[in-house]
């Protein structure tokens, strides 16, 4: 019964910025990791950035230096700050969470609905 609620997508000009949010809700014991993935037309879904519950982050080469992932463990929420956006960043962005539910010891992967990011002039 985990839900991931995403927000923040939209249309921006090249060089602009967007901030995405992903709030997880449900009978959650712990979220081991959260991440953002994206899928552009004609391409497979690819990793953008991930963050562990301890704060360790990992970025795709295309995102390194421009994007920042963060999380608020108390709110079960992850964020993706995107700066210096280019048309190549245009894609559907999906939130992912690796969740351990209450009364269980097994982690499961959950996905959000996706939010559209369009970068154009």
Residue 37's Cβ-count burial label (10 Å; 0-12, 13-18, 19+) is buried
Q: What is the pLDDT of residues 90-121, one digit of tens each?
A: 999 999 999 999 999 999 999 999 999 999 99
- The DSSP bridge pattern shows strands 57-59 and 67-72 to be unpaired
Q: Are 77 and 24 in contact, with CB atoms under 8 Å apart?
A: yes
Q: Are 79 and 71 in contact, with CB atoms under 8 Å apart?
A: yes
pLDDT score at 64: 95
């Amino acid at each position: 019964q985990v839900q991931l609620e995403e927000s923040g997508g939209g249309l921006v000009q090249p060089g602009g910025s967007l901030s995405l949010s992903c709030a997880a809700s449900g009978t959650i014991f712990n979220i081991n990791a959260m991440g953002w993935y994206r899928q552009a037309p004609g391409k497979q879904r690819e990793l953008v950035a991930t963050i562990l519950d301890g704060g360790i982050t990992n970025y795709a080469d295309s995102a390194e230096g421009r994007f920042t992932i963060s999380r608020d463990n108390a709110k079960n929420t992850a964020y993706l700050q995107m700066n210096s956006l280019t048309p190549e960043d245009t894609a559907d962005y999906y939130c992912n969470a690796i969740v351990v539910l209450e009364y269980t010891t097994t982690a499961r992967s959950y996905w959000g609905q996706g939010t559209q990011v369009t970068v154009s002039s």
